[in-house]
Structure 1
Amino acid sequence: MSPKGGCGKSTTVMVLASALSTNEDLSIAVVDADPRQSLARVWIGKREESEIGEPPFTVTSEIKETEIVDMLEKVEESADVVIVDLEGAAGLMSSYVATSADLCIVPMRPSALDGDAAGSALKLIRSTGKAMKREIPTVVLITQTDAAITTRSHREVVEELDSAGIRRCSVELMKRAPFERMMAEGKTLFELADTESVAKARENAKAMAREIVAIVEANH
């Protein structure tokens, strides 16, 4: 969840779904609630064009704002894990999803603009939780970071989050070409051809997924 486009929401969803789907004991469902449907339309379209076959997780879309809660309940009946890719707007859809979420993930690049957008998402989640009289578990995920260089802006963002007591993933989603190639080729991270770059991206993905799973399990 984030009201800002380009912060890595769809990439985070794809990386998390790719990593979790390597566990054959889990059934994974992705709900594309973004009107652009970058996953349900673009990614699935690429798979169909290339005749890759069925993905290791289901992808559901065409969801109306007022129907999202019912849709999530239906999807939950057949999936162990449901991951929702929300639109880049702080609207009712985001509030509805937050009410039933086990964890809200707020992706952000290490920049002031993304930090401001993340702050808006966190306020929306808090206000939704107050209305529901429960605290909605939330974590910030820093995305598109450079594996070799930590910029001043990156350090300042981390310091600001930590000083404000905002929970963030210790694992950051690095800026790696394979994460972009997933969308371009219509493949999961683990369907891409084996290269050193892909191997590093997979390790990053698995580390991020392990931390997300640990947070969810700790809340239960």
Structure 2
Amino acid sequence: MNILIGNQKGGCGKSTIALLLANYLTLVKQQKVTLIDMDYQQSIAQKFEKGKVLENKPPYDVVAAQLAHYPVLQSAIMQTPTEAVIIDLPGKLDDDGLLPVFDSADLLICPFSYDEFSFDSTILFAIVLRKINPAIPIIFIPNRVKANVRYETMQEVNKQLSKLGVMAPLIPDRIDFQRVTTFMTPLPVIPVIIPVFDQIYTVIAEKLAAPPNG
């Protein structure tokens, strides 16, 4: 199963969400996972290499890759349909290399924040993906939400995004998220993220249980 973590707006927490999801799937659901880091900063791949030196056997593999590598990676992904492959996408839309990635995806998880530029970027990203892959489920995660966000703003943004996908519970802005690694989710973060990833896992479980062409 091919799970995209994407938004063309930088700073929305894509890489952290990808790490948290991989940790949740492996540690809570005992699901086999491979995480493909296609983000420009390659922060996940760097954490993974650092963690291998300091820790024991990693709970999942992390592959550093670029969009140009995807056609080769896709053939390997298709041979393991029961494995969850999480792809942390680069924050862009202007690359034809995204087309095969979008087309073969089974789920998009789209973190965003409640500001005007993030909202516009999120809407555009979701619309473009839907044009390429009309049937794909989209889950929007309000991420790094600050305490001073206006309730009316949240309601209006949620209303518009709900036309394109499903809204997950919000994740507040907390410094603990900076300590997430490929080996560990900090304890204070767990109660915050469980409602979000339990909802996401419902979609993942349905997809994994479906027939190959289902």
Q: Under a length normalisation based on structure 1, what TM-score does the superposition of the two structures give?
A: 0.79
Rounded Cα–Cα distance in structure 2 between residues aligned with 1:24 and 1:15: 13
Q: In the alignment, is residue 188 of structure 1 matched against residue 184 of structure 2?
A: yes
Partner of 1:7: 12
Contact 1:106 1:141 in 2 (8 A): yes
The one-letter code matched in structure 2 to 1:26 is: Q
List runs of 5+ in structure 1 lacking aligned partners: 193-197
Contact 1:109 1:144 in 2 (8 A): yes
Partner of 2:167: 169
Rounded Cα–Cα distance in structure 2 between residues aligned with 1:208 and 1:66: 31
Q: In the alignment, is residue 102 of structure 1 matched against residue 106 of structure 2?
A: yes
Q: In the alignment, is residue 20 of structure 1 matched against residue 25 of structure 2?
A: yes
Partner of 1:151: 150
The one-letter code matched in structure 2 to 1:208 is: V
Tell me the secondary structure at the aligned position of residue 31 of structure 1: strand
Rounded Cα–Cα distance in structure 1 between residues aligned with 2:195 and 2:78: 25
CA displacement at 1:135 relative to structure 2: 1.9
Rounded Cα–Cα distance in structure 1 between residues aligned with 2:58 and 2:205: 26
Partner of 2:3: none
List runs of 5+ in structure 2 lacking aligned partners: 1-5
Partner of 2:200: 212
The one-letter code matched in structure 1 to 2:184 is: T
Partner of 1:195: none
Partner of 2:42: 37
- The count of aligned residue pairs is 200
Tell me the secondary structure at the aligned position of residue 6 of structure 1: coil
The one-letter code matched in structure 2 to 1:80 is: E
CA displacement at 1:48 relative to structure 2: 4.3
Rounded Cα–Cα distance in structure 1 between residues aligned with 2:55 and 2:15: 20
CA displacement at 1:187 relative to structure 2: 4.2
CA displacement at 1:33 relative to structure 2: 1.2
